Structure 1
Amino acid sequence: MNNSVQTTGQKLGKVVMFIILLIMGLVTIFPIAFMFMNSFKSQAEIVDSPLALPKEITFKYISHAMTEIKLVPSILLTVLITVLAVGFIVILSSSAAWMMVRVKSKFAMFVLLLFTSSMLIPFQAVMYPLIAMFENVGLKNVPGLIIMYGGFGLAMSTFLYHGFMKSVPASLEEAAIIDGASVFQVYFKIVMPLVKPTTVTVIILNAMWVWNDYLYLS
């Protein structure tokens, strides 16, 4: 009897959960479906019957919208900015963290604390003064934007790299130097391959932030 009641209760719970998830799914999908459906309509047709199906399937309105907002050039420019900014962050933060780990001095610790403390400052707090400063020096453009993104991404990235650089054995670097490797060869062929997981993390976090940012572009 108890098993029967328990089974009925479990089934009822699953049905209720299914209904709730179904409603949530419909609420989530509706705006996307609404936008997709109206993308094939003219402005007059959208105003007259926003919830009705389009009278004809035509891509001319989508094509016109893409042309008006310059969608393709904008995406390509965003890709360029993201790739260059993230590359700048990866190279500079990893090399800085590597030097701070290997050069054990009070100055290196001070620089690390400086990087760490700057993580507490939201970039929105200094955005307008920074943009004004860049405009005064003629860098309110794509190169300046890349530099700004790179500068704000350095703190967290350096902090992440610093923690993982400690696990890289210094003996490997010393052996490579004895074999005639230069500092750049040690960095690119010994150190960076050993911190690939950190590099992937840094790339993902910064790429998402740079790609989704609109404040600087304004």
Structure 2
Amino acid sequence: MNVSQYKTKTFVLEVFAILLALLFLAPFYLVLSNSVKTLKEILLDAASFPQIFHWSNYSSVWKMIDFPQAFWNSLQITLLSVLLIVLFSSMAAYQIVRRPTKFNSFVFLLLVSAMIIPFQSLMLQLVRVTSLLELRGELYGIVACYLGFGMPLSVFLFHGFIKTVPLELEEAARVDGSNPYGVFFRIVFPLLMPIMVTVVILNTLWIWNDYLLPVLIIGGNKDLTTLPLAVTKFFGQYTKKWDLALAGLVMAIVPILLFFLSLQRYIVEGVTAGSVKG
């Protein structure tokens, strides 16, 4: 009796899991199938399987948006921003944990509080400040903005993980004559790898797919157009080229999707490890 109940429950759970997976995969099917259709086929029946695969959509998008340049812009902005976020947030979190002064505690409180402020409430002020500082339309301007907005969550994650690092390791390094920078970069920094991978993945996904901040900061500088900005070229005021737009979305999604699938297991590991208070 128990065996039959167990099998029935397992079957029901498996069916529910399959249906849930299909629900989440439905958008991927729509994007992939419609990216190889003509605009007429999409408008007639977007859910149907393509009768003829129009791979020319991808070659047209490659030329129209200058995909190599847009890809390089997204890549360099993402790499520079993520590297700076990891470096500065890890150093800030280490200082806050190992030097628990009132000032450091106040700084940590400010960083955590910044996580709940909606970005939309800061857009007008951000445009004014970046214009005054001549950051708009510049590579260092968009990277600086990503550094500022990416620090709060990253510091919070590093803060929880650094508490699990044994203090005895740092004391032993100091006894051996290592200076504070040597203690951090030679002893502590390598031990932060699990949470570091988590921070890298989360910020990479955000920055690569972000549209709003590049619109505000990059503006009309075509030399820095990222993939999300380039794809909007197919959406005009009166016409929308869904066939080309969906092909462009696939081309923009594939690199970051492969990156995420190869490293996704580290997200749970890093967050779980960082949640343990030492």
Task: State the TM-score bracket (shorter-chain normalisation).
Answer: 0.7 to 0.9
CA contact (8 A) 2:97 2:162 kept: yes
Q: Which structure has the larger Rg?
A: 1
Change (3 A) 1:214 1:184: same
Q: Which residue of 1 aligns with 2:35?
A: 35
Aligned mates of 1:170, 1:206 — CA distance in 2:
28
Give the gaps of 5 or more residues in structure 2.
Answer: 216-278
Does 1:162 find its partner at 2:188? no
Q: Which residue of 2 aligns with 1:76?
A: 72
Q: Which amino acid aligns with 1:33?
A: S
Q: Which residue of 1 aligns with 2:94?
A: 98
CA shift at 1:58, angstroms?
7.3
Q: Which residue of 2 aligns with 1:173?
A: 170
Q: Which residue of 1 aligns with 2:187?
A: 190
Matches within 5 A, 1:201-212: 201-212=198-209
> How high is the TM-score relative to the length of structure 2?
0.62
Aligned mates of 1:22, 1:124 — CA distance in 2:
32
CA shift at 1:67, angstroms?
1.5
CA shift at 1:177, angstroms?
1.8
Aligned mates of 1:21, 1:198 — CA distance in 2:
29
The number of residue pairs the alignment matches comes to 204
CA shift at 1:212, angstroms?
1.1
After superposition, what is the alpha-carbon deviation per residue over 1:140-194, rounded to whole angstroms, capped at 9, x for unaligned? 1221101101101101111111111112222211211221222222111110122
Identity of aligned residues (%): 38
Change (3 A) 1:181 1:148: same
Q: Which amino acid aligns with 1:182?
A: N
Change (3 A) 1:98 1:20: closer
Aligned mates of 2:24, 2:170 — CA distance in 1:
54
Change (3 A) 1:26 1:167: closer
Q: Which amino acid aligns with 2:192?
A: V
SS across alignment from 1:217: helix
Does 1:115 find its partner at 2:108? no
CA shift at 1:119, angstroms?
1.0
Aligned mates of 1:209, 1:61 — CA distance in 2:
27
Give the gaps of 5 or more residues in structure 1.
Answer: 1-5
Within the candidate set 118, 122, 134, 1:138 is matched to: 134
Aligned mates of 1:78, 1:30 — CA distance in 2:
25
Q: Which amino acid aligns with 1:36?
A: V
Q: Which amino acid aligns with 1:120?
A: I
Aligned mates of 1:212, 1:160 — CA distance in 2:
21
Q: Which residue of 2 aligns with 1:3?
A: none
Change (3 A) 1:27 1:115: closer
CA shift at 1:129, angstroms?
1.5
- Higher relative contact order at CA 8 Å, sep ≥6: structure 1 or structure 2? 2
CA shift at 1:106, angstroms?
1.0
Q: Which residue of 1 aligns with 2:247?
A: none
